[in-house]
Each structure stands twice: as C-alpha cells, then as structure tokens.
Homo-oligomer: A and B are copies of this chain.
Amino acid sequence: MNSSFILEEEPVGQQSVVDYKKNQKQRKVLAHLYTQGTCTLANLAHLLHNSVPSVTGLVDELIQTQWVTAIGTAIGNNGRRPVLFGLNTKHHYVAVIDVSTHDTKILFMDTQRKVVFRGDYDLRLADNFSFLSSLIQYFTNALTDSGINAEKLVAVGISMPGLIDSRRGLNLTYKNLNHTNNSITGWLSDQINKPVYLINDTKATVLGESRFGGAQGKKQVLAINIDWGVGLGIIVNGEVFQGASGFAGELGHIQVDPEGELCRCGKIGCLDTITSALALVRRVQRDILAGQVSKLATFKDQIDQIGIDELINAAHQGDSYAIDILHEAGFQLGKGLALAINLFNPEIIIIDGVLTNAADFILSTIEQAISKYCLSDFRNDLTIELTQLNGTAKWLGTHAYVMEDIFANY
C-alpha cells in the first residue's frame, strides 16, 4: 500500500490534522457537559489531561459557536468561586418523535433535555407509506407551533418498535416504511432538511435509563420494556448494544413454549405471545368470555373495554384471577430474563413499560424465576429496579442518542 497516498488523504472533510485533535477534545467537553450538566474549567482540564489555560481556549471557542455558555458560579468554596459552564440551551434544539402502535408524540427539547414543546397525535405506526407522509405533516405543523426557529433545530430522533437497523435507517419489521432507493432516515431527512436518526424504542429506553435514570454510571445494564411486545434493551460497557445489524436484544421472540401460540413473527410460542401486554389482555378476554370468575367479568358484554389498565386495576382491588395472571406473567418474564442474565451477566436490570404499574404483583415472581433459573453467582452483584423516570426514559434516550452522535462527529 502506498502510504504517502494515505498521508495526503488524511485531512479529509476540510479538516486538518490539527483541527482534528482540537475537535477531539471539544467533543469530549460537549459530551461531558451533556451528561454532567455543568462543569468547572478545572474539571475539564482534569478530564482532558490538559492545563486550565488550554481548556479555557477550547471552551471559549465553544462559547463562540453557541454550544456552551457560562451557567453561574459554584457555591460553597472558600476562595473565588469557579465559573460553571454548561450547554447553551437557547441555540440548539432536537426533535424527538416517539412512534408507537397506539399513538405518536412529537417533542422539542433543548440541549439540557427540557421539553419546550410537546404534541400528542392520534397517529398509529402502520406499515405503509402514508404513515410517513402523515408524520411529516404533523412534524412541520409542530415545528411552527413550537415557535422554534428552524435554523436552531439541529436534528430529529425517531424511536419506534421493530427490528431497526439504526446505521442504515431501516425498520425491518415494518418493511413498507423503507423506500426502495432510500432509507426511512434518508427520505425523511430529504423532506425536512435535517439529519434524522432512527432508534428502536427499547434501545432508547435503556439508553435513557443508562444516562439519566437508575442505571446511571453502570456499565452492564438490561432494561426490559413490557408493552405490546417484550423488548430488551442492553447496555454493554456503557454503550447501547446494537449487534451486527442493530437487532440485538430480541428477547420477545425466543421460544418459551414449543406448543404455544403462533406469534406475529411467524414462529411458535415466543415470549411475546405469553407476557406482552397485548397477550395478557387477549388471554384475559378469552378467559372472561369463557366464564372465568373475576371482577373483570363485568366487562363480559363489552369485552373490548378490557385493557391492560383494567387488568392491573382489578389486581390492585384484590381480584385473585387478575393477580394470578400477573404473577404468572412475572414468572414467565423472569424465566426469559434468566436467559439474558446468564448470557449478559448484568449489574442492574430496569423494569419499564406498562407493567410497571403492576410492580407489586410481578416483581416478586420475576425474582423467584431468576433465582430458579440462574446460577447464584449471577444474582450476587445484580439489582432489579423499577424505572424512576416515569415514562420519559425513551425520550431522554432518543435525545441522548442524537446528541451523542452529534458530539461524536462535531
């Protein structure tokens, strides 16, 4: 190989080697400020292995580009109080689009993750092209409604369920969203003239938990997201684990019952067919119609009224049928989690999704199942926690996914 050729090729992308190094450091500063919130110059100097005057220069430039601003001064010190720097919240915004099979939410967030605009829309994820064109419609309207200067919007992050290839911007579960010559992100990006990121909803959730929730600072994290499906988000060495094509963590489609139901994925007896919210509701509806004794039997003539919330409510009211169903779901979930624990050896598992409201009923059986199906050495360093983020983990994670990529390529 001709190496002088390599040397000539190096300052690619209009960037000299010198700029490259400076940027490397500025990226670190931005990423650090993003997760830490604020920071003194001395902190940053330590982080970068540089002296304070050097770091002052780097930060000054970031202030010029409006990314960073002085936030105030630290308190409590004896001498002169250091200036705290943080991300400038007034000049760069990110849109987070939360797509699910029952609705769509569009949020505009500042660099400190404050939601400056929120719109909820009755748009359901559907496997056809009109979904994306509707989404663009809602998005452009939301942008005007938000009052944010379009110039200041730096990127759009979309979280949705399915087998998502983030790198290529494809959704392999909802294949009709992908364009023949273009990806979902490519097409959307062309339409709205902004970089568009696509991330699986469960991966967004675990990223949110990892950066801003109960899993903060942990390196090996699992987050189980029980919703219409069962999703497993994985953090490995502090980063979202995508796998080769972006599909890592498909716990919902491992076979747990060879004689089970047909899953929408085409396989038989997937975990999804047993412990997802959708599966639970269907089972309850069947049982009630078949004459099961339960408080839920009042819905017998309007069976569609039974949803996951009704099931959980009944359990909270002491309905033993509802409790049994949830116990059983927890146990099966724990059995599935045990597999993931054996393979990933996580330090923390976060429980998220609609079943968090049923924590009283599922947590203990999840733990029972894990005890039964995992070697004890795996349990010693493992904690299992409920999400503390009140359903915002997915948004925070999508935001983090976008911002961290922006910083990585600043």
Chain A residues with a Cβ under 8 A of chain B: 1-4, 6-7, 10, 17, 20-21, 40, 42-43, 45-46, 49-50, 77, 82, 163, 172, 219-220, 232, 234, 236-237, 239, 241-251, 253-255, 265-267, 338-340, 342-347, 373, 375, 377-378, 380-382
Copies in the complex: 2
Residue of B237, B239, B241, B377 touching A245 (CB-CB under 8 A): B377
Cα-based distance from A220 to B220 in the complex (angstroms): 17
Residues of B near A46 (CB, < 8 A) are 3, 6-7, 10
Residues of B near A241 (CB, < 8 A) are 236
Query: Are B377 and A163 neighbours in the complex by a CB distance under 8 Å?
Result: yes
| Contacts A6-B42, A237-B237, A343-B343; A250 near B163 (Cβ below 8 A) | no
Query: Are A255 and B373 neighbours in the complex by a CB distance under 8 Å?
Result: yes
Query: Are B342 and A377 neighbours in the complex by a CB distance under 8 Å?
Result: no
In the A-B complex, list the 7 residue pairs whose CB atoms are closest, starting with the nearest: A243-B345, A3-B42, A244-B347, A248-B345, A247-B345, A220-B244, A250-B342
Please name the residue on chain B nearest to A376 by beta carbon.
B266
Residues of B near A375 (CB, < 8 A) are 163, 247, 250, 253, 265-267
Shortest CB–CB separation between residue A410 and chain B, in angstroms?
Answer: 16
Shortest CB–CB separation between residue A218 and chain B, in angstroms?
Answer: 8
Residues of B near A43 (CB, < 8 A) are 1, 3, 6
Residue of B77, B246, B255, B377 touching A172 (CB-CB under 8 A): B377
Residues of B near A242 (CB, < 8 A) are 345
Cα-based distance from A239 to B377 in the complex (angstroms): 23
Query: Are B251 and A343 neighbours in the complex by a CB distance under 8 Å?
Result: yes
Residues of B near A339 (CB, < 8 A) are 254, 339, 343
Cα-based distance from A237 to B21 in the complex (angstroms): 24
Query: Are A346 and B244 neighbours in the complex by a CB distance under 8 Å?
Result: yes
Residue of B42, B163, B172, B345 touching A4 (CB-CB under 8 A): B42
Please name the residue on chain B nearest to A3 by beta carbon.
B42
